[in-house]
């Protein structure tokens, strides 16, 4: 009986050992209301919430085998980093395989400028409206609800969800979809393998590129807005206000064009469609291209 019971007990001992190896985090630091705050977590999650205090509160749990939590800097620039065992680099490549999950929960001033870096961790951010927000992720889901003026996101593997009011946005993913709401000004989306779904505010310049994925765009372009949309393999759906003014040029090598603004032409021989016309009188420009996919240009619903 003892020989049988001992192996059964081992998994419970292992789980208990992991639990005891985790270290609770409870730290605070005074900072400026518009401080720059850099956060790096190798594995686990980062949760950031804005509040009305000139202070950073850090809580959560440090994962098993993590070397520690480093907090450096001053009130103007604070650096928070989960340190990997034996690592000297900031990003700690490969360390996620040797560590347990670290959960970082931060409360920061609403007007803080943030830079978040993760290797294998999800990010959830809300109510932070500083001048800039930068997120660099290797693997993990990103949910960003921010009024930051400038937004830059790079993700290798994972979906990106954005709700914001940025006047300048740059989002790139290698493998993952992009979902955005409320952005304006200058907007650039790019994904290698994933869909793009954006319901923008008023914008001056919009570009969206996908190698393999569908693109759906809505919003209100300025009178002289520039719109450039391209997909190698995927459908494109663009919704425009009825009174939009711009030169429209849409083409597909292998697919159809359906438009509320004019009829597309087809070549006498071979596949593809092309649509070119002037909408209104202003100097805006709309260019849409897909190699393998359909293009749909519709009037936005009122």
DSSP conformation letters of 70-111: EEEE-SSEEEEEEEPTT--SSS-TTGGGGS--EEEEEEEETT
pLDDT tens-digit series, residues 4-20: 444 444 444 343 444 44
Q: Which of the residue ranges 101-110, 157-166, 264-273, 274-283 would you say has the lowest mean pLDDT?
A: 264-273
pLDDT category of residue 108 using cuts at 50, 70 and 90: very high
* CA dist list (Å): 292 to 104, 214, 245: 43, 11, 28
Beta pairing class for 102-109 and 55-62: antiparallel
Q: What is the pLDDT of residue 164?
A: 95
Model-level pTM? Answer: 0.87
Q: What is the pLDDT of residue 1?
A: 41
Residue with tokens 């804005």: 50
Q: How far apart are CA 291 and CA 294, in angstroms?
A: 9
Q: What is the pLDDT of residue 18?
A: 42
Q: Which of the residue ranges 61-75, 85-99, 138-152 would you say has the lowest mean pLDDT?
A: 85-99
Is residue 128 within 8 A of residue 112, CB to CB? The reply is: yes
Is residue 41 within 8 A of residue 1, CB to CB? The reply is: no
Answer whether residue 78 shows pLDDT above 80.
yes
Two tokens, residue 273: 């469609």
**Residue 14, C-beta contacts closer than 8 angstroms, at least 6 positions apart:** none
């Amino acid at each position: 009986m003892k020989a049988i019971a001992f192996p059964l007990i081992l998994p419970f001992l292992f789980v208990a050992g992991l639990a005891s190896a985790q270290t609770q985090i409870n730290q605070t630091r005074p900072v400026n209301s518009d401080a720059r705050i850099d956060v790096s977590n190798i594995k686990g999650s980062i949760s950031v919430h804005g509040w009305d205090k000139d202070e950073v509160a850090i809580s959560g749990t440090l994962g098993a085998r993590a070397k520690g939590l480093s907090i450096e800097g001053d009130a103007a620039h604070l650096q928070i980093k989960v340190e990997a065992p034996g690592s000297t680099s900031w990003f700690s490549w490969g360390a996620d395989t040797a560590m347990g999950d670290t959960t970082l929960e931060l409360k920061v001033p609403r007007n803080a400028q943030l830079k978040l870096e993760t290797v294998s961790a999800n990010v959830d951010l809300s109510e932070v409206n500083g001048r800039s927000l930068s997120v660099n992720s290797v693997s993990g889901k990103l949910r960003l609800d921010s009024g930051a003026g400038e937004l830059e996101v790079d993700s290798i593997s994972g979906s990106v969800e954005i709700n914001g009011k940025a006047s300048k946005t740059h989002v790139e993913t290698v493998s993952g979809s992009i979902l955005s709401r409320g952005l304006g000004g200058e907007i650039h989306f790019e994904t290698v393998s994933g869909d793009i779904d954006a319901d923008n505010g008023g914008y001056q310049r919009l570009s969206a590129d996908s190698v393999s994925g569908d693109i759906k765009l809505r919003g209100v372009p300025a009178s002289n807005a520039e719109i450039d949309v391209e997909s190698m393999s995927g459908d494109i759906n663009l919704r425009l206000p009825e009174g939009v003014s711009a030169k429209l040029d849409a083409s597909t090598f292998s697919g159809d064009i359906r438009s509320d603004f004019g009829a597309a032409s087809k070549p006498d021989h071979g596949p593809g469609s092309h649509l070119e016309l002037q909408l209104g009188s202003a100097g805006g420009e709309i260019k849409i291209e897909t190699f393998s996919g359909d293009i749909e240009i519709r009037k936005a619903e009122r």
